[in-house]
Amino acid sequence: MVEFIVSAEKKLVIERFHKVVSLDLLVSASHAIWSHAAYDIYLKGLVDVRGCKIEIGLKDIPQLTSFFFKSAKTTKGFMVILADSHQSIAKSFIFKSKMSKLMNIYITSSLEDAMRNLGIDESTYDLINSNQVQQIQATTTAA
């Protein structure tokens, strides 16, 4: 599952993934965010994948980057990826290297560092806990 909030007032999109990050879930979340009335391609973004298993393999990264490069709705704003495992950090750096021509991505394992780089405070991050948050459930395919 992923929770997200789009705040035009704060010029920010916050996404918080739970348990698993899959290619399908990332694509579904992107479409949901892009269709939000307050979304703008120049909003900053915080993608929180702490505590998640990243089920995106190296073979999936070209497909994911192609998806973002082909969409006119892909953010042009500064994005921070908040990751806390070796696996999520390594895959985030691979993704960053492939996306460097399209967007500026910063990767950190510290919430404080993420907030400082985005120019936000803890109360802004807490928007993800508000009643305005939207959820996207992971889709599973039957074996």
pLDDT digit string, tens, across residues 123-138: 899 999 999 899 998 7
**Is-contact 23 125, C-beta < 8 A?**
no
Residue 143 resides in a domain: no
The CATH number of the domain holding residue 42 is: 3.30.750.24
Residue 73 resides in a domain: yes
Average pLDDT over residues 80-88: 96
User: pLDDT above 70 covers what percent of the chain?
Assistant: 97
Report the distance separating Cα 110 and Cα 106, nearest Å: 12
- Paired strand residues for 15: 4, 47
Residue 124 resides in a domain: yes
126, amino acid identity: D
Q: How confident is the model at residue 139 (pLDDT cuts 50, 70, 90)?
A: low
